[in-house]
Amino acid sequence: MSSVLRIALQKNGRLSEDSYQLFKECGIRFDYGTGKLKSISSNFPAEFLFLRDDDIPGYVEDGVADLGIVGENVAVETGRPVTTIHKLGFSKCRLSIAVPRGVDWTGIQHLDGKNIATSYPNLLGKYLAEQGVQAEIHEISGSVEIAPSIGLAEAVCDIVSSGSTLLSNGLKEVETIFRSEAILIARPELDADKQSLVDKLLFRIKSVQAAKN
């Protein structure tokens, strides 16, 4: 049987539409947005799996999927040994530390001994260690920006795009610790047949990107 690439995409979220558009522009057709969790392309040897973004690096590591699209923030935070094969240029954002607007920010040492709420304990922990700051990391999975106003933490570390969520929660961005965009990740060991399909796909992706620049 000839090889079929299994590609994991976010089911429903900020990466979904652009991921689908990318394949569409590459001339690869598949059903999307039908509520199904799997879809086989009608004109390229690929099968698409629709998953939560946080699960994608693990599925790629385990070989359930050969390729996946995730934010670099998620790929690095999960720490899975997957290979980044291409940067895709969409879903750009940054992971930043923010504090209540009234705080007189004098630098990262301000956080010594403080509580910081985040969904990115690994990225934040590494950054604080590099800066020599000893702070308490409080991991929460969502609505991080509300933490200071309910007394849960003195600062937050969260994804920022326009900055309006921080603003509407009375916070100001003081340090950017990581810059992210969507990336194509792959299982480190692909057999020759699959690698040649990945090469074909990458060629198309690069052509689409070149045409836009």
**Contact predicate 198/66, CB 8 Å:** yes
**Spatial CA neighbour of 96 closest among 3, 174, 4, 28:** 174
Note whether 55 binds Zn ion by CB under 5 A.
no
Closer CB to ligand PRT, 134 or 143, in the complex: 143
Least distance between Zn ion and beta carbon 95 (Å): 14
Q: Which one of 49, 67, 69, 93 is in contact with ligand PRT (CB under 6 A)?
A: 93
- Binding partner of 17, given Zn ion, ligand PRT, none, CB within 5-8 angstroms per partner class: none
From candidates 73, 96, 118, 169, binder to ligand PRT by CB under 6 A: 73
In angstroms, give the least distance from the CB of 127 to ligand PRT.
Answer: 17
Task: Say if CB 47 and CB 66 are below 8 A apart.
Answer: no
By CB under 6 A, residue 19 contacts ligand PRT: no
| Whole-number Å distance between alpha carbons of 213 and 209 | 7
Query: Should residue 159 be labelled a site residue for ligand PRT when binding is judged by CB under 6 A?
Result: yes
| Residue 53 interacts with Zn ion (CB under 5 A): yes or no | yes
Could you tell me the smallest distance in angstroms from the CB atom of residue 1 to ligand PRT? 31
What's the gap between Cα 152 and its chain centre? 25
Measured from the CB atom, the residue of 147 and 197 that comes closer to ligand PRT is: 147
Residue 139: its H or E element: strand 136-139
Write down the least CB distance from residue 57 to Zn ion, Å: 11
Q: Any bridge partners for residue 116, and if so which?
A: 137, 155
Distance CA 10, CA 15 (A): 6
Q: How far apart are the first and last CA of the chain?
A: 39
Among 5, 7, 10, 98, binds ligand PRT (CB under 6 A): 10
When asked if residue 54 is in the footprint of Zn ion (CB under 5 A), the reply is yes
By CB under 6 A, the count of residues binding ligand PRT is 21
**Cβ count near 93 (within 10 Å):** 19
Note whether 79 binds ligand PRT by CB under 6 A. Answer: no
Selected binder of ligand PRT within 34, 42, 106, 162 (CB under 6 A) = 162
Phi/psi class of residue 16: alpha, beta or left (left: φ > 0; alpha: ψ in -120 to 50)?
alpha
